[in-house]
Amino acid sequence: MDHSTHHTGTTHDRAPREEHHDHARHAGPAPGASWSTAAKATLHCLTGCAVGEILGMAIGTALLWDNVPTMALAVTLAFLFGYSFTLFAVRRAGLDFTSAIKVALAADTVSIAVMELVDNAIIALTPGAMDAHLSDGLFWSALLGGFAVAFLVTTPVNKWMIGRGKGHAVVHAYH
């Protein structure tokens, strides 16, 4: 029996494999992205942001810096750690460094920006929080409260973006 007709490279033969390996299809719009998916993406982003934010606020506060440089350091470190968490995950999935950076930037920029805007607004608007010291409950309650509010505000943003194939939807092709 001649099996060569099954492996001739016909369109019929290639279509299932091309469709299966079409990662753009996985990264495309996900109609009706679930709240669970959005919450997981936001929690992933929040983890990196929280590490950077806490580190930045703690360093600035411990060094008795003014509010603006302390917040600038916290925001910078939040972006750095937020991107790093995604970068390491997609590198582990086999992506080269340059492509991994592009994926991390596409996946996390809006999420981190919204999270940082909300979190820092909460901290800045909480009376006395920016003048509190590391040993003050107000310092930690404002910081953690800001994270909670940022999570609640950022989750619908991520749901909307994932539903349109943007943000964390870009990373799903590499899981």
**17 vs 166 pLDDT, higher one:** 166
pTM recorded for the entire structure:
0.77
| Amino acid 15: pLDDT | 39
Q: Among 1-5, 72-76, 138-142, which is the least confidently predicted range?
A: 1-5
Long-range contacts of 148-153 (CB under 8 A, 24+ apart): 149/118, 149/119, 149/122, 150/46, 150/49, 150/114, 150/115, 150/116, 150/118, 150/119, 150/122, 151/42, 151/43, 151/46, 151/115, 153/114, 153/115, 153/118
pLDDT digits (tens, 9 = 90+) for 87-137: 998 899 899 999 999 999 998 999 999 999 999 999 989 999 988 888 899
| Amino acid 32: pLDDT | 65
pLDDT digits (tens, 9 = 90+) for 37-76: 899 989 988 999 999 999 998 899 889 999 899 999 999 9
